[in-house]
A and B are shown apart, each in its own frame.
Chain A
């Protein structure tokens, strides 16, 4: 039978312990802050300032004008080099990520229009940057051609032109979608570690045995553990959101109450997972390691935080569906950048609910009132 009195006593005890031993507070507040600041600055997919070598074999006005167009682009930092060999050596040493080669016959080729007048070499060891750089080079090239055509008063009218628009993130600022994802990852970590270590500590110190010997029931035991750390975790979450918005200028377009509810669901998932880990491991060392392997790494790799699950092979894509972080990352990205899009929020929060229920049920089963 649930007795509110016992529950309150357990929660009060937990609160006192948190006050006396502030390591939980560090995990809930300092850890997210440090990780968010360090990683937030560290992760960026924006290929800005791509170092590019330009080999100008013959310096004609047209060639100069093209080089100037590249210099004007925010994406490139241009270095003029004399020889093709220098550019190639720079690519190998990593000094340059791209090289632009303008041959002797650049202008004649340009006028004939048949063969390619310029050649671009990209460093494929960073496939993503290379791919983005390729797009940027093409953009600069097309713009320059149009400009040249206009100044020559001849127009090339393309049958079809493409106008691109980016919704939600017009500046293509990768931090805007990475930071919400990062908040989700960090919450996974703190939520899981908080409960994983705290319950394992009770087993290690023998206090769990003493609690079990009292009339305390499973429900009181679990809720008594979950509730205080839930509050802490939500506090950490609020802090992370504030930091994300103030330090990284990520917009928030959803409504606060949806964010709170979804975060609460996700916090329940993380805490329940931590509780399950510690109930099985019963020692802080193993619990810490399992939390790392089972919670952090999948959240990092399989949640869609940086790597798109839909691009993964099917078995791995299926695996990513049991990672709670995947749903929360989606929700957060949408809430921050798009707003309350119910067609995203509903299915994803239902998935979170299902996972939380699953972990709690499993923990419930494992927390038998005995030591076996």
Chain B
């Protein structure tokens, strides 16, 4: 195999912050190289450097052959049709007009967009947009294909199709770089460049990394899973403990013996990429605990949130189509689904941000769109987008939210001090919230959402883009609050994250197509050929069933 791109001692800074430090690597032809890391790890900068859109401050980048790129937000003109977009990029790349019809037919067929030539690009689904973007990038017949987070916002079905398309290209000898924050995708790449804070943590096949934790991974079964998880996490031999369905997944410290946990059985399992990744990150020790609530919340009928036959239409488009579910007191309920499926719309109706076209949305027995403002005092809300004041400091944000939730005097000061301590924000109290690294932004947002001790917590994609450690920290807090009786409604598009929920509902095209515990959902996809399906397998099976 030959190197299509050779990076040698590459460095790049923005102002005084280094984005890439001293990075050397080779991108080989004929295989998929995964560029893996959390938001802000330097993936996008590295992609732009390789595409020649930026120049490195130090080092050299040698590229052999032509490059096709698909930026994170691919430059499709949303007000042009699929065919017009293709033609524009073909003309800009000076494809001979005679060849164009054949090329378009081939690429559109390849991308599964045959029937959509006259549709406006803005009206395509997230997955179709990415496939069109890929088709446009392939017009250049590139030797190197750079894909910057192609699977963000794409449903699992399209994600698999995209993956197959790219796999075909790699077998034809194209060097493909696929950057991603999803660790399950990393596992499928031929080769992985794992990045953290601008540095390369791993350069090699993913199996090489997972091999490092071989024999250290177990699944613990039996007992109450949350108790089990916190017991395991506290154990000195355990590096990582993670809820997975009804059981807990453990990664041990190197050279440690399996821990002795009460009332459960340990089964060794094959290591995953994430297990290995977590061991590479710095061990931050035990996660500080939130203080206990003075009074556990109580709901008359034990139901914290009720969606009863909810419908929301925008014009003639039905975003939420007769959705019903309950969230019990102390339960963690997850809403799953691709972007645009109706998760966020459901969420906003429940919070009273959006009136329902029909049906009822009740939180603590109240319709928040109509109820008095005091009803909202019992609600905590963290939205998908960072929604704190970026120009205010951490402390000022905390002060503000404490103030509007009516905390005063010493209670306010104590609560703020506790939040800063629990979320590790003490040293950052004076920094502008907008300049914080993503993980700290999310921590601050969670702190602001829970500081007034709400009975019900709404979390919209709380962990998208953060690294696995921050995700674990978040879930530890969420679990602790649920244990005290707080009800949590959470949306996510990370399917593995859904495993942490007590129950999940899968939303697809505005409908709730399945509801149950993670294990129940997985069971629905069990077949002879697939005796132990993952949630993603289950999801795809359910979606295909719904489409039929």
Contact = CB atoms under 8 A, between A and B. Distances in A.
Contacts of B76: 207, 210
A212 B53 CA distance: 8
B79 A9 contact: no
A209 B53 contact: yes
Interface residues of B, number: 29
A21 B79 CA distance: 7
A16 B80 contact: yes
Interface in B60-91: 67, 69, 71-80, 84, 87-89, 91
B94 A6 contact: yes
B130 to A, nearest CB: 13
A370 B54 CA distance: 6
Contacts of B120: 20
Contact of B84 (A6, A16, A205, A370): A16
B54 A13 contact: no
B91 A6 contact: yes
A370 B88 contact: no
Contacts of B55: 370, 372
B51 A213 contact: yes
Contact of A20 (B73, B75, B79): B79
A216 interface: yes
Nearest to A17: B79
Contacts of A210: 71, 74-76, 136
A215 B95 CA distance: 12
B93 A13 contact: no
B477 interface: no
A261 to B, nearest CB: 32
Given A213-B51, A370-B53, A206 B74 contact: yes
A92 interface: no
Chain A binding surface SS class: helix
Contact of A214 (B77, B79, B84, B93): B93
Nearest to A212: B53
B299 to A, nearest CB: 44
A205 B88 contact: no
Interface in B79-127: 79-80, 84, 87-89, 91-94, 120
B78 A213 contact: no
Interface in A184-223: 205-216
B80 A6 contact: no
Contacts of A9: 87-88, 91-92
B92 A215 contact: yes
Contacts of B188: none
Interface residues of A, number: 27
A13 B53 contact: no
Nearest to B72: A206
B93 A215 contact: yes
Contact of B80 (A17, A209, A213): A17
A214 B54 contact: no
B75 A205 contact: yes
Contacts of A112: none
A205 B74 CA distance: 8
Interface string A1-26: 00101101110110011001100000
A371 interface: yes
Nearest to B80: A16
Contacts of A10: 88, 92
A17 B94 CA distance: 21
Contacts of A20: 79-80, 120
Contacts of A372: 54-55
A207 B76 CA distance: 6
Contacts of A216: 92
A3 B79 contact: no
A95 to B, nearest CB: 50
A21 B120 CA distance: 12
B322 interface: no
Contacts of B71: 206, 209-210, 213
Nearest to B81: A16
A206 B79 CA distance: 14
A305 B415 CA distance: 61
A313 B64 CA distance: 63
A53 to B, nearest CB: 56
B159 interface: no
A289 B54 CA distance: 29
A211 B88 CA distance: 10
B57 to A, nearest CB: 10
B197 interface: no
Contacts of A5: 91, 94
Contact of B48 (A13, A215, A371): A371
Contacts of B72: 206
Nearest to B12: A372
Which one of B77, B89, B140 has the highest number of Cβ atoms from chain A below 10 Å of its Cβ?
Answer: B77
Contact of B78 (A12, A205, A212, A371): A205
A213 B84 contact: no
A163 B78 CA distance: 67
Given A5-B91, A213-B51, A216-B92, A206 B73 contact: yes
A5 B72 CA distance: 28
B25 to A, nearest CB: 21
Given A20-B80, A21-B79, A206-B75, A211 B92 contact: yes
Contacts of A371: 48, 53-54
Nearest to A202: B75
Which one of A6, A10, A13, A211 has the highest number of Cβ atoms from chain B below 10 Å of its Cβ?
Answer: A13
Interface in B107-157: 120, 136, 140
Which one of A9, A17, A208, A216 has the highest number of Cβ atoms from chain B below 10 Å of its Cβ?
Answer: A9
Nearest to B87: A9
Nearest to B69: A213
Nearest to B51: A213
Contacts of A12: 88
B53 A213 contact: yes
B75 A3 contact: no
Contact of A13 (B77, B94, B136): B77
A209 B92 contact: no
Nearest to B140: A214
Contact of B91 (A8, A21, A205): A8
Contacts of A370: 52-55
Interface of B: 48, 51-55, 67, 69, 71-80, 84, 87-89, 91-94, 120, 136, 140
15 contacts: A5-B91, A9-B87, A16-B84, A20-B79, A21-B79, A206-B73, A207-B77, A209-B53, A209-B71, A213-B51, A213-B71, A214-B89, A216-B92, A370-B55, A371-B48
Q: 6 closest A-B pairs (Cβ-Cβ)?
A: A210-B75, A9-B91, A206-B73, A207-B75, A20-B79, A214-B92
Given A205-B75, A207-B75, 6 more contacts: A9-B87, A10-B92, A12-B88, A213-B53, A213-B67, A214-B93
